[in-house]
Amino acid sequence: MANKDTYNADSITVLEGLEAVRKRPGMYIGGVSAQGLNHLVYEIVDNAVDEHLAGYCTHVEVTLEVDGSVTVKDNGRGIPVDRHQKGVSAERVIFTTLHAGGKFDNSSYKTSGGLHGVGSSVVNALSVSMEVEVSKNGYVHYDSYERGVPVTELKNGLLPKKGKTEETGTRIHFMPDKEIFGKSKMNAAAIQSRLHETAYLNPGLEIVFTNHREGEETQVTYYETEGIQAYIKELNQGKTPVHDVVYLKGSSEGIEVEAAFQFVDTFEEKILGYCNNIYTSEGGTHITGFKTRFTQVINSYARELGILKEKDANFTGVDTRCGMTAILAIKHPDPMFEGQTKTKLGSADAAKAANQVTGEQLELYFDKNLETLKLVIGCAEKSAKIRKAEEKTRANLLSKPKFSFESNGKLANCESRDASKCEIFIVEGDSAGGSARNARDRKYQAILPIRGKILNVEKASMDKVLANAEIKTMVQAFGCGFSEGYGNDFDISKLRYDKIVIMTDADVDGAHISTLLLTFFYRFMPELISEGHVYLAMPPLYKVVPKRGEGEYLYDDAALERYRKKHSSNNFTLQRYKGLGEMDADQLWETTLNPETRCMKRVEIEDGRMADMMTEILMGSNVDSRREFIHDHASEAELDV
Ligand code: 1YM
């Protein structure tokens, strides 16, 4: 029940403020799902972590209670409880005023993350009940709220005392409001992962997580005395490290910079950035400063050691970070965040500080650890070698072959140079390719036989894609280059054929080859599809010849079924084609090549984004997602029997 202390002009604006939080919770905690609920926990925990950063707190307990409520307890100084200028306890002001933090700003707060206590009032507004116990000055001070409204009576504006204590600290117990969150449930695993991350970033802070929820009873203590070095080890678990973790630390113009890295034998680059304990998922100036200087240092050592000769170009930034796992954590007194989700550090001085500390400390380290330096440079060399090989294959591939318009290798080209009339048939197998070659109209129809299955471009690395003979021949034959990560070299105006026709057997293998080809076009020459140049030939499955009258091709089982209903089986002979190779040149001409009589389908993409996802799911290397998709959609599939 609200007492008279709460009925002054100030508290009316207070209630309006908290009412705004309840009206638009998403604005404050991102949403009202499990993620929003988790956010409540993080807001409160962040205040305890701030107290750790201020140098007063070493222990935090986070407990998920069986009834869905949460308790967070720390052993810091305890939230200030003395009378604030508004005439009530500072604790009251903190829990009922939006943006209370600013009013209590002091230097110890300047290196802290989070929202400077701002979160406490937001969590309070979104909780059906909240209790606060502050141990300080020999007593346990008590306060409580319902949906953000104080229900504990103050005495002279001060909190009642529950008892005596020698300890100091803050304990907050809150029950998220079902009116706001409905049936959403906190995600315990995500909370644990975040607490572990916090422990890595704050060595010396012990975080005990307890889950009392039914069927989930657990207790874990996160205490990482090795800090971000231990974090790197966790990130690199299961990989083969090239050297021991390197750790750097220093400060410049009031900005503390800490970095740890380790190279592993992969080609990936993984750099996690933090500013004041906040993960900067969009990167920012601190990361840029670190990367820039790292590349410079590696290049200058590589020259000094004679690994890079005078004539050699520098390693690129990407080369020097090939296989790197790194964490960069800075503490900034007044950070500026930008970007779509405000997770990109924008402060210019952070780039300068990260650059400077990285330069100084890296040189100190490498001067003493030559072996590690050589191993790290070795990774850059490996990357540069592969990059150069890729550039070379690429250049070869795109440079016009000398006799580009002659029949080249397997390609049986057509005579006409008029692209608008020319067609190219990509035919599965050499024997079908031979028949097609004999059957075609050589003026306008080119035949390119491909052997077996082409490479799955979703799974292969770039250099393999570029080295694949089938793909090379296709790129050369089409004449319009292809596009991928390095920039767009694709020019559809140079396409030599108006129609590209995929011609495979009407069976599972044929379907697989078609899919592989379509994946390749979709990934590297998407305009071929979007501009309607790609077709699928539809060879017939059957030929029926009646005793009297003309023979007829049937393209699927349904057509055969219909034919059977109309004709008695004694009156016709049925021929089944197992593959293109079984058809003679005349039959092939009639069914698949002759523009007057053939049957083919134009390939269209209804929704590019969806197609993109499907290509990745069905052709990529994530077996689980493919299995899941196939399992979910099996009933929709047309089975090839
Ligand atoms: C379980 C959550 O909130 N601990 C906590 C919060 C504060 C302090 C100590 C604190 C800060 C200062 C002085 C100071 C907060 N203070 C503020 C405000 N744990 C939890 N522990 N004394 C105590 O910064 O000067 C907001 S939170 F506003 F007073 F700064």
Residue 236's CATH number: 3.30.230.10
pLDDT at 65 over 50: yes
Q: Give SS3 for 349.
A: helix
Asked if residue 108 has its Cβ within 6 Å of ligand 1, the reply is yes
Q: Is residue 636 part of a domain?
A: no
Element (H, E) at 246: strand 246-252
149: in domain: yes
Residue recorded with tokens 């009922």: 96
Same domain, 139 and 246: no
| 127: containing domain | 19-222
pLDDT of residue 601: 84
Is 150 near ligand 1, meaning CB less than 6 Å away? Answer: no
69/155 same-domain check: yes
Stated as kind and residue range, the H or E segment containing 387 is: helix 370-398
Domain end position, chosen among 395, 428, 450: 395
Q: Based on the domain organization, do 334 and 368 belong to the same domain?
A: yes
607 pLDDT higher than 70: no
Query: Residue 259 in contact with residue 231, Cβ under 8 Å?
Result: no
Ligand 1 centroid to Cα of residue 95, in Å, is 11
Answer yes or no: do 40 and 151 share one domain. Answer: yes
Find the range with the poorest average confidence among 25-39, 71-85, 121-135, 461-475.
461-475
Single out the catalytic residue among 381, 498, 509, 556. 509
In this predicted structure, what is the pLDDT of residue 228? 97
Whether residue 499 is contained in a domain is answered as: no
Q: Whose CA is nearest to atom 24 of ligand 1?
A: 109
Ligand 1 atom 19: residue of nearest CA: 48
The alpha carbon of 170 and the centre of ligand 1 are apart by a number of angstroms equal to 8
User: Does residue 77 surpass a pLDDT of 80?
Assistant: yes
Give residue 406 CA to ligand 1 midpoint distance, Å. Answer: 80
Do residues 276 and 333 share a domain? yes
Residue 112 scores a pLDDT above 50: no
Considering the candidates 428, 458, 470, 590, report the single residue annotated as catalytic: 428
| 418 is known as an active-site residue | no
Residues 354 and 379 in one domain: yes
Taking the alpha carbons at both ends of the chain, their separation in whole angstroms is 73
Q: Give the closest residue (by CA) to ligand 1 atom 30.
A: 104
Q: Let me know whether 124 and 90 are in one domain.
A: yes
Q: Decide whether any atom of ligand 1 lies within 6 Å of the 169 Cβ.
A: no
Answer whether 135's CB lies under 8 Å from 142's CB: no
Q: Does residue 501 form part of some domain?
A: no
Burial class of residue 609 in the structure, from the number of CB atoms within 10 Å of its CB (0-12 exposed, 13-18 middle, 19+ buried): exposed
Q: How confident is the model at residue 125 (pLDDT cuts 50, 70, 90)?
A: very high
Whether residues 298 and 244 share a domain: the answer is yes
Number of structural domains the chain divides into: 2
Q: How far apart are CA 310 and CA 554, in angstroms?
A: 70
Name the pLDDT band for 171 (thresholds 50, 70, 90): very high
Same domain, 234 and 297: yes
Mean pLDDT in the chain? 85
pLDDT at residue 396, as a whole number: 67
The reply to whether 269 and 314 lie within a common domain is yes
Please indicate, yes or no, if residue 450 is contained in any of the structural domains.
no
Please give the distance, rounded to the nearest whole angstrom, from the Cα atom of residue 47 to the centre of ligand 1: 7
CA-proximal residue: ligand 1, atom 3 (nearest): 47
Report the alpha-carbon distance of residue 100 to residue 537 in Å, rounded: 70
Residue 44 located in a structural domain: yes
Helices (H) and strands (E) in the chain, counts: 21, 26
User: Quick one: 194 and 324 in the same domain?
Assistant: no
Domain C-terminal end among 222, 255, 272: 222
Q: Which residue has the higher pLDDT, 228 or 29?
A: 228
Does the annotation count 505 as an active-site position? yes
> What is the pLDDT, as a whole number, of residue 14?
61
State the pLDDT at residue 13: 56
Tell me, what's the pLDDT at 11? 52
pLDDT of 470 strictly over 90: no
| Maximum distance among all Cα pairs of the chain, rounded to whole angstroms | 111
Provide the strand spans (E) within 383-436. Answer: 423-428
In-domain check, residue 367: yes
By most ligand atoms within 8 Å of CB, the mutation choice from 72, 79, 108, 110 for ligand 1 is 79
Q: What is the CATH number of the domain that holds 38?
A: 3.30.565.10
Domain end position, chosen among 338, 361, 395 = 395
Q: Which residues contact 451 (CB under 8 A, 6 or more apart)?
A: 429, 430, 470
In a domain, 255, yes or no: yes
pLDDT tens per residue, range 244-291:
999 999 999 999 999 999 999 988 899 999 999 999 988 999 999 999
Q: Is 82 a catalytic residue?
A: no
Q: Give the mean model confidence (pLDDT) for residues 170-196.
A: 95
- CA of 22 relative to ligand 1 center, distance in Å: 24
Same domain for 182 and 242, yes or no, is no
> For this structure, is 463 an active site residue?
no
